[in-house]
Amino acid sequence: MLISYLWCQLAYIGNDPIRGSPIEVSKQSTLTIPAEHGQAYWMAHMFLYTFVIVHQTIQVQVNHVTLDKFNPFTRVYLMVAFGILLIFQICYFRSGDFNVKMSMAVLLGLTIVC
């Protein structure tokens, strides 16, 4: 549960967070809403989370069928957890001046390749 909490908090850190403030729609603002306001980065962020959780679920099922001992710390889980903690540390020491969107995109690419 801790990794889920950290994952959600990661979307709100930095000068240009993955999940910005919501757009308030009114009659005056309907013509000025930007077409792209970071939704692709939010989807990539959630896709990576879903990929890791599904990987963990499949690992539980495989270990149950093969009667092996389950180890929750798989390579994918550890790589993503380490990457998220590294992003938090860099963002903390640089006072939020860090491109969290790009780092999450790189982390997603590395996870898909590995």
Residue 50 domain-assigned?
A: yes
Residue 31 domain-assigned?
A: no
- Taking the C-alpha atoms of residue 69 and residue 60, their distance in angstroms, rounded to an integer, is 9
79 CA to centre of own chain:
13
Residue 30 domain-assigned?
A: no
Residue 33's H or E segment, with its range, is: none
Chain segment 67-91, per-residue pLDDT in tens: 988 888 888 888 888 888 888 788 7
Report field, pTM of the whole predicted structure over 0.95 = no
Residue 89 domain-assigned?
A: yes
Give pLDDT, residue 65.
93
Residue 56 domain-assigned?
A: yes
Residue 29 domain-assigned?
A: no
Give pLDDT, residue 66.
92
- The mean predicted confidence, pLDDT, of the chain is 76
Q: By residue range, what is the domain housing residue 95?
A: 2-19+36-113
Task: State the 10-residue block means of pLDDT for the chain, 114 residues long.
Answer: 74 71 64 60 79 88 90 84 81 74 76 74
Q: Is residue 48 within 8 Å of residue 104, measured between CB atoms? A: yes
Number of domains in the chain: 1
